[in-house]
Chain A
């Protein structure tokens, strides 16, 4: 699995990795979705949303991207099963999200925190980080 949920006393911590920087972002979104909803029943037509995020560095960019997707998920009751990165640098991204509607979520993620996020490349050339979600 490109992501793994590990223990954290109060909240939920996830370890995520990707072969490329872009894959890491996509996997992190899928990992967050798996916490929000383990089974997606689907409701209505697929929706498309466009987002643009700017941050000081790549770690903050990942957190801000996930927070943006989280807010959209909770407001519109959607899970974004596809993401198309139109632009992705260390400090800026523009992406299209494709969402399916859900009736309810399994878990109430309050926010994605910056707490342990530090995106690094490992010895195999894979990108990875830990992320703590406030539940």
Chain B
């Protein structure tokens, strides 16, 4: 049974608490950032029970957190943040998710919507051709084992060495597009085989390449500093570590289930399988997760190269380049420090939100996306984290039953959004009606102060698998 509103304590207008006394095995309270309206949706599924389950994990500090876009996952909810003490705490692959370093990047063109409008039909077609999508369509790079290891070790830096990245791309990525803790030796052969031909591909599900225009600016100075202005055309890329990351998570969840009894750990849901951070299994997972994260950054980099090729092909030399504004992960664990304690912050469907750092929040297909900036307050309230997107409210099966992909495509095209998609049923699954209202989600994090709104982007062309 989902947890009821009467079990929650209202801390402030947008902060709700599940007291530590709600269940005897909780080590810390749960904390949810949500409006009354979003909370109604959140209470419909099992997500808050999952927040409670995470609150029972060894070494968890202060709160088990839920962002306003929270929805039911498996083990951890999606939109959850948990900080585990490095000495007494655990690391849990389920707290990062199967799509390790799923994330978002934003590229800015030098063109306005008016200048690009007449090229959009061609642009969407050429991007769809250049960026392989769907399940089972391989990418352009065929790497041998040694070359593959270099990608896993260096991420975006390796893409730069191979000629696929620009200098600024390295500077403008979270962690400069690579985690130094990576050890490709900790990635299984099966994981390598699943990812081997997938660099530069978006796959399916909610992943996309979207052409957008800056539709509204909330903070002129911040927008100017980012180099963005009203009506400017941007490109947003959303995807992650593909089959390689999925298999790394699968491998290590299995391994941690096996070793938990050795460490005397028990968890209320097997999907929370974990091991002490300071254990061989914990260290091995962190090294493999870092390799998968680097693969994801390299993947988004190669997709950017493909999009840049498409842009130049369609708009010619006058089209100018596409400059990376920022690239941020929303499924990752990081060593950080809060309230005097060294912790591993698990972010599953949550974005790092350090002061002054760009935060990119993609909306559902056809709806707005946002650029925000991280804040000091996020360090005090949410372990330097904020939301990651709209968050689902409707199951994929229900969305497919209720919505016709081709009707949806026609409707979006009437609204001036060009669409290229490999599958109409896949399109239906990602219909805006299946998601929470991204405007409401972003308003909550802005009002709580764990990120500040800079500008809003509207889609003008969408490419999906």
A interface residues, Cβ below 8 angstroms from B: 5-12, 55-56, 60, 64, 67, 71, 74-75, 77, 102-108, 110-111, 113-117, 132, 134-135
The answer to whether B398 and A110 touch across the interface, beta carbons within 8 angstroms, is no
Is the CB–CB distance between B98 and A114 below 8 Å?
no
B397 within 8 Å of A by Cβ? yes
Please determine whether A75 and B193 come into contact, CB atoms closer than 8 angstroms.
yes
Residues of B within 8 A of A55 (CB): 254
Q: Is the CB of B75 within 8 A of A115?
A: yes
Docked CA distance A29–B271 (Å): 20
Contacts of B258 in A (CB 8 A): 56
Which residues from A are CB-within-8-Å of B394? 9
Q: Which of A8, A9, A105 contacts B136 (CB 8 A)?
A: A105
Q: How large is the interface on B (under 10, 10 to 19, 20 to 34, 35 or more residues)?
A: 35 or more
Q: Within residues 137 to 156 of chain B, which ones have a CB less than 8 A from any CB in chain A?
A: 137
Please name all residues of chain B whose beta carbon is closer than 8 Å to the beta carbon of A60 when the two chains form the complex. Answer: 254, 257, 270
Q: How far is A110 from B73 in the complex, measured between Cα atoms in Å?
A: 13
A/B pair count, beta carbons within 8 Å:
103
Complex: A75 Cα to B73 Cα, angstroms: 26
The residues of B that contact A6 with a CB separation of less than 8 Å are 397
A113 to B50, CA, bound (A): 15
**What's the nearest-Cβ distance from chain A to residue B196, in Å?**
8
The contact of A114 among B203, B271, B397, by CB within 8 Å, is B271
Instruction: Provide the bound-state CA to CA distance between A105 and B73, in Å.
Output: 23
Which B221-249 residues have a C-beta within 8 angstroms of A?
243, 246-247, 249
Give the most central of A10, A71, A132, A134: most B CB within 10 Å: A10
Bound complex: CA of A23 vs CA of B126, how far in Å? 47
* Pick from B190, B205, B273, B398: contact of A71, CB under 8 Å: B190
Known: A56-B258, A77-B136, A134-B74. A7 touches B398 (CB 8 A): yes
Which residues on the A side are within 8 Å of B205 (C-beta)? 108, 135
Cβ-neighbour of B396 out of A11, A102, A114, A116 (below 8 A): A11
For the complex, is B321 an interface residue (Cβ under 8 Å from A)? Answer: no
A104 adjacent to B137 (CB under 8 Å): yes
Interface membership of B437, Cβ < 8 A:
no
A22 to chain B, nearest CB (A): 22
A135 to B426 Cα, complex, angstroms? 11
How far does the alpha carbon of A103 sit from the alpha carbon of B134 in the complex, in Å? 11
Chain B residues in 8 Å Cβ range of A132: 74
Is B250 an interface position by the 8 A CB rule? yes
Contact indicator A115/B74 (Cβ below 8 Å) = yes
Instruction: Give 20 CB contacts A-B under 8 Å.
Output: A9-B45, A9-B392, A9-B394, A10-B395, A12-B396, A55-B254, A71-B190, A71-B193, A71-B247, A74-B243, A75-B190, A75-B193, A108-B135, A108-B205, A110-B249, A111-B249, A113-B271, A114-B257, A115-B269, A134-B98
